[in-house]
Amino acid sequence: MQDVDLPALEQLDRALQDHAGPVVLDSFCGTGQSTAILCSRRTDALVIGVDKSSHRLNRQPALPENGLLLQAHCEAIWRHLVERGIKLSTHKILYPNPWPKPGHLGRRVHGHPAFPLLLRLGGHLELRSNWQTYVEEFGVALGLLGHASRVAVVPKEETSLTLFEEKYRQSGHELWSINTNIRVSEPLED
C-alpha cells in the first residue's frame, strides 16, 4: 500500500460498513462512466470504481447512491478487499492499457504480481479489450491457475461501457471479451 491509497481505503471501509449486499468492482475505471452504467444495472449492489488518476475521475458527474469512485492503485484495493474477506459479485476490467511490448508483461494485469489477489476476490470476472492478443493471454493465465474462461466478440449492438469502447467501436475495431466465474472457497497463501 502507498500513502496515496490510504484515504481511498478508509473511504472503502466506511462504504462497506454501511452495505450488506453484493459488491461490484470496476478496476481501472478511468472517468467512471462504466461505474455509473454499472450502478444503474446493479441497483442492489455497491459499485466501486477505482482508478489512480484524479484527472480522469474528476470528469465523472455524481454517481447514484450505490456508487463509489476511489482514487487509488487497484492492487491496493484488491489486497484490502482480500484481507477483509470481501468476495465480489462481479469484477469488470475494461480496456486496460495493453502494454504491448514483450518486456512489459509485468505491467499487464495477468502478468502483474498482484494477479493472484484479483483471483481471490471471486465472482464473475470480465475483461474487455480491443486487442485480441491481450484477451487471449489473460485467458491463458486464468487457465494456468485452473479457471476456465470464454473469449467472445462484444456484440456491436451492446451499449458502450467506456469512452475507449465507444471510440474503438466508432473506428471499426472488433472488441473482445473474456469471462469467467471464479469460485473461492478457501484463502490462498500469498
Q: Count CA atoms within 13 Å of residue 27 on its CB side.
A: 26
Percent of the chain exceeding pLDDT 70 equals 95
Range of the domain at 118: 3-182
Strand pairing report for 123-129 and 176-182? antiparallel
Q: Is residue 123 part of a domain?
A: yes
Q: Is residue 188 part of a domain?
A: no
Q: Is residue 12 part of a domain?
A: yes
SS3 105: helix
CATH number of the structural domain spanning residue 53: 3.40.50.150
Q: Is residue 187 part of a domain?
A: no
Q: Is residue 80 part of a domain?
A: yes
Kindly report which listed range (26-40, 105-119, 151-165, 169-183) carries the lowest average pLDDT score: 105-119
**For the chain, what is the total number of helices (H) and then of strands (E)?**
7, 7
Specify the number of domains making up the chain.
1
Summarised one tens digit per residue, pLDDT across range 18-55 is 899 999 999 999 999 999 999 999 999 999 999 998 87
Summarised one tens digit per residue, pLDDT across range 29-39 is 999 999 999 99
Segment 64-89 shows an average pLDDT of 95
Q: Is residue 143 part of a domain?
A: yes
Cell of 155: 456484440
Residue 96 has pLDDT above 50, yes or no: yes
pLDDT at 190: 45
